Amino acid sequence: MKKKLVKLFLLLCLLSGCLFLYAINKTKYDKRRFEDNVTFKNNGYTMPTTSQIKDRVIISFVVCDSRFTESLNVIKSSLIFTSTPLYFIIFTDDKLKSNFSLTLNEWKDVLGDKLDFELHKINFPEAHSEEWLNLFSKCAAQRLFIPKLIPHIDAMIYVDTDSLFLGPPQHLWDQFSRFNATQISAMSLEDDNPNVSWYPRFAKHPFYGKYGLNSGVMLMNLTRMRDFGWVDYVTPIMLKYKLYIPWGDQDIINIIFHYHEKAVYVLSCRYNYRTDQCMYGDACSDATKDGIFILHGSRRAFHNHKQPAFEAVYRAVEEYKIGSDPRIVLEKMKEYLEVAPESNCGNLKDAFLKVPRHTLAGSNEKPDR
């Protein structure tokens, strides 16, 4: 009898040990899957050679309804300052597709190989398509599905349509070379001041780090994002948090990177410069020192007559005629900033002009009068 009890005890101990080891391994697996321990084999991404990068810098955006003119200014601003050919991937609705085709082909006739593009229709998964279409602003959530929609593209710069390049896109593209083995994307912080950043004050969902990310400018290594399984994450997150994500796709991006912090390369605020960086005073020392590289007119800063410095730069770009001397844009920026009503952002006008001035210096910029 004692022998049977001893055998039973030993069997129970063995079974308990197996269950314990299974639980440990499962925890490690789950942690690796849902937190930030994802690494790519052989870095998961072979950087193009310098000559390949110079062949084309790829820029993408999503636009529906009434933002056609604004989105043309994204393209126009990048063409003004580029030193390399640009390739645009545009996701848009049927109404705007013909407008883009007509306008961009006219620009191609003027610029030749400096500009090329491809147009894609808005394409959400059939399940929950209406919810996706109207999440935040119309069709903005399309960006979340891009890795699967353009499998022929390895990497790209994604920008919101209310963004303007103030320097050569090639310089931002070069930031891909700074990615380490775990990083799949790059963005700027929403803000590095907890008293200003929206996420630590109001978010009811997980978000990246202490301050959250602003996704208005997003470097996307699409090859790594596909390996990561990016698209598989987004629908479950949307369904779980849809009542708590007022910023739509940006909130979903923050939730994903809350659990995968090592997958993000953080860009300087000068690559996504918003009114938050200047309306209360200088809150982006990099931009003050080195100049604003991308101006992001979020919350309609280019149009609402509350931020005259932002409107001045936007007006100068909007008035530019494709094929004309880009130095005209710089002269107009100077002129419009000079006469703009005084504001905290306007007090930092040198930050707005520093990169355009440096970029166009080789074009025999006219001296200040």
Band the pLDDT of 2: cuts 50, 70, 90: low
Tell me whether residue 47 is in a domain: no
Do 244 and 181 lie in one domain? The reply is: yes
- Asked if 82 and 168 count as a contact pair (C-beta separation under 8 A), the reply is yes
Q: How far apart are CA 103 and CA 121, in angstroms?
A: 17
Chain centroid to CA 356: 21
Do 139 and 90 lie in one domain? The reply is: yes
Number of domains in the chain: 2
Residue 197, pLDDT score: 86
Q: Which domain holds residue 262?
A: 55-270
Q: How far apart are CA 267 and CA 248, in angstroms?
A: 21
Final residue in a domain of this structure, among 247, 270, 293: 270
Do 327 and 243 lie in one domain? The reply is: no
Q: How far apart are CA 158 and CA 204, in angstroms?
A: 26
Tell me whether residue 41 is in a domain: no
Residue 218's domain is classified under what CATH number? 3.90.550.10
- pLDDT at 40 > cutoff 80: no
Coil, helix or strand for 344?
A: coil
2-11, 46-55, 74-83, 167-176 — which is least confidently predicted? 46-55
Do 349 and 225 lie in one domain? The reply is: no
Q: Which of 94, 44, 96, 106 is nearest to 70 (CA)?
A: 96
Do 277 and 175 lie in one domain? The reply is: no
Tell me whether residue 83 is in a domain: yes
Q: Are strands 57-63 and 155-159 parallel, antiparallel or unpaired?
A: parallel
Tell me whether residue 242 is in a domain: yes
Do 127 and 262 lie in one domain? The reply is: yes
Final residue in a domain of this structure, among 213, 247, 270: 270
Q: In this structure, what token pair is assigned to residue 5?
A: 């009890």
Do 329 and 253 lie in one domain? The reply is: no
Do 316 and 285 lie in one domain? The reply is: yes
Residue indicated by tokens 């353009």: 150
Residue 29, pLDDT score: 33
Do 69 and 215 lie in one domain? The reply is: yes
Residue 253, pLDDT score: 98
| pLDDT tens-digit readout, 8-20 | 566 665 666 555 4
Final residue in a domain of this structure, among 221, 252, 270: 270
Do 239 and 301 lie in one domain? The reply is: no
Tell me whether residue 154 is in a domain: yes
Q: How far apart are CA 82 and CA 56, in angstroms?
A: 11
Tell me whether residue 46 is in a domain: no
Residue 196, pLDDT score: 80
| pLDDT tens-digit readout, 84-119 | 999 999 999 999 999 999 999 999 999 999 999 999
Tell me whether residue 165 is in a domain: yes
Do 253 and 276 lie in one domain? The reply is: no
DSSP codes, 252-296: HHHHHHHS-GGGEEEEPGGGSB-GGGTBTB---HHHHHH--SEEE
Q: How far apart are CA 96 and CA 99, in angstroms?
A: 5
Q: Give per-residue burial for 159-196: e unless 16+ CB within 10 Å, then b.
A: bbbbbbbbbbbbbbbeebeebeebbbbbbbbbbeeeeb
Tell me whether residue 122 is in a domain: yes
CA end-to-end span of the chain: 107
Q: Count the neighbouring beta carbons within 10 Å of the beta carbon of residue 260.
A: 21
Q: Which of 135, 128, 57 is nearest to 89 (CA)?
A: 57
| pLDDT tens-digit readout, 254-309 | 999 999 999 999 999 999 999 999 999 999 999 999 999 999 999 999 999 999 99
Do 65 and 180 lie in one domain? The reply is: yes
